[in-house]
Chains A and B, each alone.
Chain A
Amino acid sequence: MKTTKTKDRCTRAQALDLYRQMFTIRYFETRGGELCRKGDIPAFIHLYVGEEAVAVGVCSQLHTSDMITSTHRGHGHALAKGADVRRLMAELYGRTDGYCGGRGGSMHIFAPEIGLLGTNGLVAGGIPSAVGAALTAKVKGTDGVAVAFFGDGGSNHGAFHESLNLASAFHLPVIFVCENNLYATATPLATIAGNPEIAQRAVAYGMPGAAVDGQDVLAVREATARAVARARAGDGPTLLECKTYRYVGHNEGDPVCGTYRTSEEVELWKLRDPLLLLERYFTTELGGDIAEVDAVRQQVTDDVEDAIVFAHNSPWPAAASLEAHRYAK
């Protein structure tokens, strides 16, 4: 893992924008967890708390038209790709103003206009779709790239292995982003993988692979920039393994530590919290004013609170609408 400590890693404006996006995810998810426990969000959700730097770092290097596929833990990817907080929250509420009018919910959020080809309820389910989006870009001759997000759990699924091989064989502009948070629900990666260094799997498929500090948004950004440049140049796919951590249980309601980790471990990871790291970089390396950070946090808080009210007031979909979109016409 490579971390650079220079002032040229980003501008103050860029740092503040990355912070805004990460804090949006953090606050959205924290409130989402509360609303889920309260019953306002009608089903269990998987929160992205602790992993914000990965989605934000990766998506900061993409165009709106570049497609991503996401996972069951997908709100962060949606927000990083530009999702509107109101429409996203309304979808979690199952309301008509949600991105899918309440037909999808947390694990099936589709927003093609911002390049979100779906969060996904099936582990590794979205990886092949990203390869397909990259195939479209290649056949149609656009400079589009596609990104597949998945976890360490997904990296043991056949769809991961088949997708890496297909993308490499066909030189497709796709970036495979593994969010290695160490646990497939409650199963430690080290106990279920003969080689837990996921980035090394790239070698088997003839593509570059890199392990990245997934708590350092700038490191993620830099690694992604290299992968995107390679993909846009027609040189094919890259595997990025972002080493990260979730502070919360697998899903809302699941215990934070369970049978598989200790609270000491969780607290240790929080010392390298992605927001904290970026805030520190902003104030010390870039000479930014903490008041600017506070202003961003206030604005995001207001926006998310407004989104919650919006979602709460959005109408429920009518049962009479069920037949719509059964088939495309």
Chain B
Amino acid sequence: MPNKPTQISNLEAIRNAIAVEMRLNPDIIVIGEGTGERGGCFAHTKGLFAEFGAERMLDTPISENGFTGMAIGAAATGLHPIVDLMFADFILDAMTQLVNQAAKIHFMSNGQIRVPMVLRASIGSTAAAAGQHSGVYYPLFMHIPGLKVVTYSTPADGYGLMRSALREPNPVIFLDHKGLFPVKGDAPAEDLLIPLGKARICQTGTDVTVVAASLMVQYALEAAAQLADNCAVEVIDMRTLSPLDMETVFASVEKTGRLLIVDESFPVCSMASEIAACVASERLYDLDAPIRRLNTLPIAHPFSPPLELATIPRTTQIRTAIEALMKE
């Protein structure tokens, strides 16, 4: 038996997770644009067509509202679709189906109908993708009761979370960061399952808590490493953005008394604002300093690389923010 690679990319990890679950569950199908024989615009479904065939790897017309709605009807009647929308920006075309149908049917039907589906899309600002291919948008989905929202920062987490998402009886928005697709990390154990709704403490520390998600976790870890001689930073990857695992955040803040939230979404009604509000409301007296937030600037993502770089939180800004917070 050939040795399994010890390092794999995020992209490979998610693809493996989908393949494993598709082998176990014949009801899982993939619905998307160019996700069949082409293997997806990022090669993120490469090889699945060869194994599972055209009937389970459905190439669609560019009709996000229509095929997301089709997936909802399929989910409600016994299939478990993965809807692949390529870019989170394109989910906006399917919002009425997602919000008015998928998220509400279970509750409105008094539990008679389930909508088990995974809506997958890439997020984030990388490589000059500009104003209509760089959004993260997860706060829009966090706002909607009935949806679960997942994103990840390592291959193992992505693998374990995708496998769990494909066992969920609810609609799950599963977001891959484009900047993380090629990044490698430890290969997960094949049987790894990570429950939704649980944050991960990436590194423990006693001086300050940094909460982040997706690519921002990697930046936060870099910043923490640069400051390692001066302060012990606890870095938390939220992983599931809805429902938020606030207990893990509360426990960390009780210990450190300082909180920085790094969030690639725009600042208003963001992941950062929600976590800040929860901590201010429930753990105010554990805090030794004001809660600080770093978000993407509230502007359309600019194309030109120097402008783009200045738009989203980066390692240096996180480091500076931690240093400033330690002095407060």
Contact = CB atoms under 8 A, between A and B. Distances in A.
Contact of A111 (B96, B107, B112): B112
B6 interface: no
B315 interface: no
A161 B65 CA distance: 10
A122 B96 contact: yes
Interface stretch (A18-26, A97-105, A279-287): A97-105
Interface residues of A, number: 46
Contacts of B74: 132-133, 135-136, 139
Contact of B97 (A69, A121, A128, A326): A128
B70 A328 contact: no
A42 interface: no
A132 B70 contact: yes
* Residue in B29, B69, B105, B170 with the greatest tally of chain A CB atoms within 10 Å: B69
A166 B107 contact: no
A103 B110 contact: yes
Interface string B204-242: 000000000000000000000000000000000000000
B304 to A, nearest CB: 34
Nearest to B75: A132
A125 B108 contact: no
User: Which of A137, A158, A327 has most B Cβ within 10 Å?
Assistant: A327
B69 A129 contact: yes
A163 interface: yes
Interface stretch (B9-17, B42-50, B54-62, B181-189): B54-62
B110 A132 contact: no
Interface in A270-329: 324-329
A136 B109 contact: no
Nearest to A65: B77
A101 B107 CA distance: 10
Contacts of A135: 70, 73-74, 79
Given A67-B77, A122-B100, A325 B106 contact: yes
B246 interface: no
B36 to A, nearest CB: 12
A38 interface: no
A26 B34 CA distance: 48
Contacts of B107: 103, 325-326
B63 A166 contact: yes
Contacts of A117: 73, 76-77, 113
A162 interface: yes
Contact of A125 (B100, B111, B114, B148): B100
A118 interface: yes
A114 to B, nearest CB: 11
B76 A329 contact: no
A125 B101 contact: yes
Contact of B70 (A67, A122, A166): A166
Contacts of A161: 66
B243 to A, nearest CB: 8
Contacts of B71: 132
B146 interface: yes
A89 interface: no
Contacts of B115: 328
B67 interface: yes
A81 interface: no
A162 B110 contact: no
B305 interface: no
B66 A163 contact: yes
Given A112-B113, A122-B100, A169-B61, A328 B72 contact: no
A125 B78 CA distance: 20
Contact of B111 (A130, A139, A170, A324): A324
B146 A326 contact: yes
A159 interface: yes
B109 A159 contact: no
A328 B115 CA distance: 8
Nearest to B243: A327
B69 A327 contact: no
A127 interface: yes
Contacts of B55: 139
Given A132-B74, A136-B73, A325-B106, A162 B65 contact: yes
A127 B66 CA distance: 9
Contacts of B69: 125, 127-129, 131-132, 159, 163
B273 interface: no
Please list the 5 inter-chain residue pairs (A to B) with the smallest Cβ-Cβ separation, ordered nearest first. A132-B73, A128-B69, A162-B66, A129-B73, A110-B109
15 contacts: A110-B113, A117-B113, A122-B96, A125-B69, A125-B97, A129-B73, A129-B101, A132-B73, A136-B73, A136-B74, A325-B109, A327-B106, A327-B146, A327-B170, A329-B169
Given A125-B101, A128-B70, 4 more contacts: A110-B113, A118-B109, A140-B79, A327-B169
Interface of A: 67, 69, 99-101, 103-104, 108, 110-112, 117-118, 120-122, 125, 127-137, 139-140, 146, 158-159, 161-163, 165-166, 169-170, 324-329
